[in-house]
Amino acid sequence: WRAVKLRPRRRPWRRAGNRVVAQASGYKVAILGAAGGIGQPLSLLVKMSPLVSALHLYDIANVDGVTADLGHCNTPAKVAGFTGKEELAGCLAGVDVVVIPAGVPRKPGMTRDDLFGINAGIVRELVEAVADNAPAALVHVISNPVNSTVPIAAEVLKRKGVYDPRKLFGVTTLDVVRANTFVAEMKGLPLADVDVPVVGGHAAATILPLLSKARPKTAFTDEEVEALTRRIQNAGTEVVEAKAKAGGGSATLSMAYAAARFLEASLRGLDGDADVYECSYVQCQAVPELPFFACRVKLGRDGVEEVAAAGAELRGLTEFEARALEALKPQLKKSIDKGVAYAQQQP
Ligand code: NAD
Ligand code: LMR
């Protein structure tokens, strides 16, 4: 992801077949959990996007200060704050993309699955409101455990009769951002050139970087593959432990950066850019026994395009990658089933 993509030059026109048509005037984005550790820096990055005309911030606490503060930045997106359940519908009305970082983060010694007890209910409640008030919006789920919260969101949307699998995403971009950084550092490559697909899910061994598919084509020893894979899988824990002495929490700044990158990619897809690809945890057939799987998807006007092609990067894996893929399947399946069972038990 090159710097130029953070602030794409926005043309006042686009091509549709052989016609030239005016561009849409900008997109409306809602962030649910906007006053949190991720929510605040993410809101700032989104406020800087030339593709965004309206930015709606929702949280159960402290959203007024964030809204007033951001509102003073002289960038075009108009900021509005919403707080409390009674303002959630207004926050969501007419938005194109909803980003959900609401929920509790890990403390040292916890797994992401340990957050299920609190975050499952938060995600369920917020996605119910999305279904009622912004049923056509793209939904980006950041709240952990992503491996389960995305299936929960899917069940909620199904129950409300508005589920479109092309529009629901688990945000796994941070795994790609980390993989790109660590590979560039290890191999002395220019950061902007490195692109490593990361597939599977977003927890421990379910995070599977495909180093054999890294671009530019790079040779790794077996030891390097093992060390990089382990570091990418444990990077979230590395941050949780580093933050433990100073108030705690998990990755917020790198996560905000990653979420902004994924949002920008989604908006470029909505805007008609022909060549937008990102890894994300989506419903797909990449691995038949896993209804949700993170893989490289093409983003377009309706969210994921070419679902059938999802998982193409799983062809021609190395022995190490193929083994790791087999090993992650039971863990990921269990997390998916847990999310589905939870959502189906709800009244
Ligand atoms: P945080 O505690 O700093 O912020 C969470 C925010 O959510 C708070 O402002 C809180 O008031 C708000 N909130 C809680 N319940 C809410 C509700 N019902 N409606 C609206 N807002 C609500 O936490 P954080 O560090 O920002 O992390 C948030 C979540 O993101 C955690 O679950 C964390 O594990 C996850 N996370 C995911 C990734 C990823 O790669 N997908 C990366 C980092 C963190
Ligand atoms: C991350 O990967 O940083 C997040 O999933 C947060 C965490 O709990 O590790």
Nearest atom in ligand 1 to the alpha carbon of residue 142 is 41
Distance 11 CA to ligand 2 centre (A): 36
Instruction: Answer whether residue 184 shows pLDDT above 60.
Output: yes
Give the DSSP per-residue string, 11-55: PSEEEETTEEEEPPS-EEEEEETTTSTTHHHHHHHHHT-TTEEEE
Instruction: Answer whether residue 179 shows pLDDT above 80.
Output: yes
Token duo for residue 305? 């395009």
Choose the residue to mutate in 83, 104, 174 for probing ligand 1, maximizing ligand atoms within 8 Å of C-beta: 104
Instruction: Answer whether residue 293 shows pLDDT above 50.
Output: yes
Catalytic residue IDs = 202
**Strands 13-16 vs 19-22: parallel, antiparallel or unpaired:** antiparallel
Determine the residue type at 2.
Answer: R
pLDDT digits 0-9 by tens, 235-255:
999 999 999 988 899 999 999
| Closest ligand relative to 110 C-alpha | 2
Ligand 2: does its nearest atom lie under 6 Å from the Cβ of 254?
A: no
H/E stretch holding 100 reads: strand 97-100
| Closest ligand relative to 37 C-alpha | 1
Residue nearest to ligand 2 atom 9, measured at CA: 236
Ligand 2: does its nearest atom lie under 6 Å from the Cβ of 146?
A: no
pLDDT digits 0-9 by tens, 36-75:
999 999 999 999 999 999 999 999 999 999 999 999 999 9
Token duo for residue 317? 């894996």
Residue nearest to ligand 1 atom 18, measured at CA: 122
| Closest ligand relative to 38 C-alpha | 1
Residue nearest to ligand 2 atom 5, measured at CA: 236
Residue 61: CB atoms within 10 A of its CB come to 9
Distance 119 CA to ligand 1 centre (A): 8
| Closest ligand relative to 104 C-alpha | 1
Instruction: Answer whether residue 15 shows pLDDT above 50.
Output: yes
Ligand 2: does its nearest atom lie under 6 Å from the Cβ of 143?
A: no
Instruction: Answer whether residue 16 shows pLDDT above 60.
Output: no
**Strands 27-32 vs 52-59: parallel, antiparallel or unpaired:** parallel
Choose the residue to mutate in 38, 106, 118, 143 for probing ligand 2, maximizing ligand atoms within 8 Å of C-beta: 106
Q: Which residue has the higher pLDDT, 22 or 18?
A: 18
d(CA 93, CA 110): 36
Give the DSSP per-residue string, 270-316: HTT-S--EEEEEEE-SSSTT-SEEEEEEEEETTEEE-GGGTTGGGTT
- Mean pLDDT score across all residues of the chain: 93
Per residue in 156-189, is it b (16+ CB within 10 Å) or e — as a string? Answer: bbeeeebbbbbbbbbbbbbbbbbbbbbbbeeeee
What is the model's pLDDT at position 6? 43
Question: pLDDT grade, residue 7 (50/70/90)?
Answer: very low
What is the model's pLDDT at position 17? 59
pTM for this entry: 0.94
Distance 146 CA to ligand 1 centre (A): 12
Instruction: Answer whether residue 280 shows pLDDT above 60.
Output: yes
CB 206 within 8 A of CB 229: no
What is the model's pLDDT at position 8? 45
d(CA 237, CA 255): 13
Please compute the mean of the pLDDT values over residues 157-163 and round it to a whole number: 98
Give the DSSP per-residue string, 149-213: HHHHHHHHHHHTT---GGGEEE--HHHHHHHHHHHHHHHT--GGG-B--EEE-SSGGGEEE-GGG
Determine the residue type at 192.
Answer: A
Instruction: Answer whether residue 319 shows pLDDT above 60.
Output: yes
pLDDT digits 0-9 by tens, 77-96:
999 999 999 999 999 999 99
Instruction: Answer whether residue 210 shows pLDDT above 90.
Output: yes
Residue 93: CB atoms within 10 A of its CB come to 12
Ligand 2: does its nearest atom lie under 6 Å from the Cβ of 236?
A: yes
Token duo for residue 315? 């062809």
Residue nearest to ligand 1 atom 25, measured at CA: 37
Least confident stretch, 14-23, 110-119, 289-298: 14-23
Question: pLDDT grade, residue 347 (50/70/90)?
Answer: confident
What is the model's pLDDT at position 346? 86
> Distance from first CA to last CA of the chain, Å, rounded?
43
Residue nearest to ligand 1 atom 5, measured at CA: 36
Sign of CA dihedral 301, 304, 310, 312: positive
Distance 313 CA to ligand 2 centre (A): 24
Instruction: Answer whether residue 291 shows pLDDT above 90.
Output: yes
Choose the residue to mutate in 38, 112, 116, 254 for probing ligand 2, maximizing ligand atoms within 8 Å of C-beta: 112
CA 63 to each of CA 48, 200, 210: distance values in angstroms, whole numbers, following the listed order = 18, 34, 39
What is the model's pLDDT at position 19? 57
CA nearest to 263, candidates 86, 141, 80, 92: 141
CA nearest to 137, candidates 275, 27, 19: 27
pLDDT digits 0-9 by tens, 113-156:
999 999 999 999 999 999 999 999 999 999 999 999 999 999 99
Please compute the mean of the pLDDT values over residues 290-303 and round it to a whole number: 96
What is the model's pLDDT at position 137? 98
CB neighbour list of residue 105: distance below 8 Å, 6 or more residues apart:
37, 115, 144, 240, 248, 249, 250
Nearest atom in ligand 2 to the alpha carbon of residue 202 is 5
